[in-house]
Amino acid sequence: MKAIILAAGEGHRLSPLTDSTPKVMLPVSNRPILEFVVESIVSAGIRDIVMVVGYHSEKIRLHFGDGRRFGASIQYIVQKKQLGTGHALFQARTESEVMVFPGDNIISGDCVRALMGTDTNTILATYSRNPSKYGAVEHRDGKLIRLTEKPPGRREDVVFTGLGHYDSSIFSAIMEAIEDGQYDMTSALNRMDSVSVLISDCLWKDAIYPWDILDLNAWAMRSLTRSISGKIENSTIIGNVSIGEGTVISGGTYIRGPVVIGKNCYIGPNSVILGDTAIGNDVSIGAMSFVKNSIIMCSTSIGHGSDIEESVVGAASEIGSGVSLLRSKWEKAIYGELISGDAGPVIGDNCRIGPRTIIHGGVRISSGTTVRAENSIREDIHPREEVV
Report the pLDDT averaged over residues 67-81. Answer: 97
∠ CA 374-376-381, rounded to 5°: 110
CATH superfamily of 2-208: Spore Coat Polysaccharide Biosynthesis Protein SpsA; Chain A (3.90.550.10)
State percent of the chain over pLDDT 90. Answer: 90
Residue 282: pLDDT above 60? yes
| 3-class state of residue 326 by DSSP | coil
**CA distances for 182 relative to 109, 147, 247, angstroms:** 31, 14, 50
* Alpha helices, DSSP H, located in the chain: 33-43, 57-64, 85-90, 109-116, 169-179, 185-191, 212-220
∠ CA 237-306-296, rounded to 5°: 65
Residue 130: pLDDT above 90? no
State percent of the chain over pLDDT 70. Answer: 97
Instruction: Kindly give, in sequence order, each residue whose CB lies less than 8 Å from that of residue 16, ignoring residues fewer than 6 positions away.
Output: 210, 314, 346, 347, 348, 349, 364, 365, 366, 367
pLDDT at 376: 97
pLDDT classification of 156: cutoffs 50, 70, 90 = low
How would you classify residue 356: left for phi > 0, otherwise alpha for psi between -120 and 50, otherwise beta? Answer: left
Integer Cα distance of 156 and 187 in angstroms: 22
pLDDT classification of 132: cutoffs 50, 70, 90 = low
pLDDT at 152: 65
Instruction: Kindly give, in sequence order, each residue whose CB lies less than 8 Å from that of residue 254, ignoring residues fewer than 6 positions away.
Output: 235, 236, 271, 272, 273
Extract the runs of DSSP E, i.e. beta strands, from 239-310: 241-243, 248-249, 254-256, 259-261, 266-267, 272-274, 277-279, 284-285, 290-292, 295-296, 301-302, 307-309
Sort 355 into a burial class: Cβ within 10 Å, 0-12 / 13-18 / 19+: middle
* Range list for CATH 3.90.550.10 in the chain: 2-208
pTM: 0.94
pLDDT at 336: 82
| 3-class state of residue 173 by DSSP | helix
* Range list for CATH 2.160.10.10 in the chain: 226-387
pLDDT tens figures, 347-373: 999 999 999 999 999 999 999 999 999
pLDDT at 131: 63
Report the pLDDT averaged over residues 211-219. Answer: 96
∠ CA 75-167-91, rounded to 5°: 40
Instruction: Kindly give, in sequence order, each residue whose CB lies less than 8 Å from that of residue 140, ignoring residues fewer than 6 positions away.
Output: none
| 3-class state of residue 218 by DSSP | helix
Sort 321 into a burial class: Cβ within 10 Å, 0-12 / 13-18 / 19+: middle
Sort 188 into a burial class: Cβ within 10 Å, 0-12 / 13-18 / 19+: buried
Residue 153: pLDDT above 60? no
Paired residues of 261 in beta bridges = 243, 279
Residue 189: pLDDT above 80? yes
The H helix count followed by the E strand count for the chain is 7, 40
Query: Is residue 367 within 8 Å of residue 351, measured between CB atoms?
Result: yes
What CATH number is given for 226-387 in this structure? 2.160.10.10
Residue 90's Cβ-side half-sphere holds a number of Cα atoms within 13 Å equal to: 23
Report the pLDDT averaged over residues 263-280. Answer: 97
Residues across the chain = 388
Integer Cα distance of 127 and 219 in angstroms: 18
As a whole number, the mean pLDDT across the chain is: 94
pLDDT classification of 128: cutoffs 50, 70, 90 = confident
Report the pLDDT averaged over residues 156-179. Answer: 94
Query: Is residue 249 within 8 Å of residue 231, measured between CB atoms?
Result: yes
